[in-house]
Structures are given as C-alpha cells and as structure tokens.
Amino acid sequence: AHTRLRFDYQQADATRTAFDGYTQRVGVCRDFAHLAITLCRCMNIPARYATGYLGDIGVPKDPAPMDFSAWFEVYLHGPEGPRWYTFDARHNRPRIGRIVMARGRDATDCAISTNFGYAHLARFDVHTDEVE
C-alpha cells in the first residue's frame, strides 16, 4: 500500500474505495489505511482502522504540519502474546505521539465529527509537543 499509492491532499475523495485507491494509485492517509486493511483481510489477518492526531514529534519539521491522520492496526501473535499492533501505510515507519480518537472497521465507523446541516469550519489547529 505504501509504494502503490501517492499521497496528495488535493486528490481526497470521501467515496474512494480500497479498489479505487489501488487502481487510481493516489489518495490520503485514509486511503492508505483502507488499502492496507483490505490486503490484510484478504490474507485472513484481522485488521482495523484507527484515526486521531499524529503530530510531527521525532521527525524533521514539515512546513505542512500534521493534523488528523489515519492508520491501521493488525492483531498478531508477538513475543508478549497476541495483541493489536499499529502500522502506518502512508509513512511506513514507526512514529511517536499518536493520539487515538477512534477505532473501527473502516473510516465510516470513525467519523471525527457528525453534524446535521451545514457546519462551517472557520479554523482548525492541532499542536503536539514531546514532554520529558
């Protein structure tokens, strides 16, 4: 999934399926997670969607800082027994500072907000800092 898709905020599509992401070869973090979850489930590996904040802690400063992000978790038997492990198909490397807001089968289960009628987002800022 990491090498198949090209990340592009401008190509975000709320109706893109895992198959669409695979064939279009572009998406946002949600699409990376959906494709990776689909591939895991095809191999009978339990996988779930996770979303929340992912700051830029422990990585070089980015002029376009992170905000909401999506990743996935798989249920594997590890050295300490079976548990859920976090993976991020977009970044494809361990990151620190994840703040989980929701977990579910896919993005539909994990709406960041739900509103009825028009809702204008005037401003949105997320700040994360590493503490000692």
Query: What domains are defined for the chain?
Result: 6-110 (3.10.620.30)
pLDDT digits 0-9 by tens, 24-68? 999 999 999 999 999 999 999 999 999 999 888 888 877 766 678
Angle at 56 (CA atoms; ends 106, 21), nearest 5 degrees? 35
What backbone torsions phi and psi does residue 57 show, to the nearest 5 degrees? -85, 130
Give the predicted TM-score (pTM) of the model: 0.86
Mean pLDDT of the chain: 90
DSSP letter string, 54-75:
E--TTS---SS---EEEEEEEE
| Cα 92 to Cα 2: distance, rounded to the nearest angstrom | 6
Whether residue 6 is predicted with pLDDT greater than 70 in this model: the reply is yes
Cα atoms in the Cβ-side hemisphere of radius 13 Å centred on 130 = 8
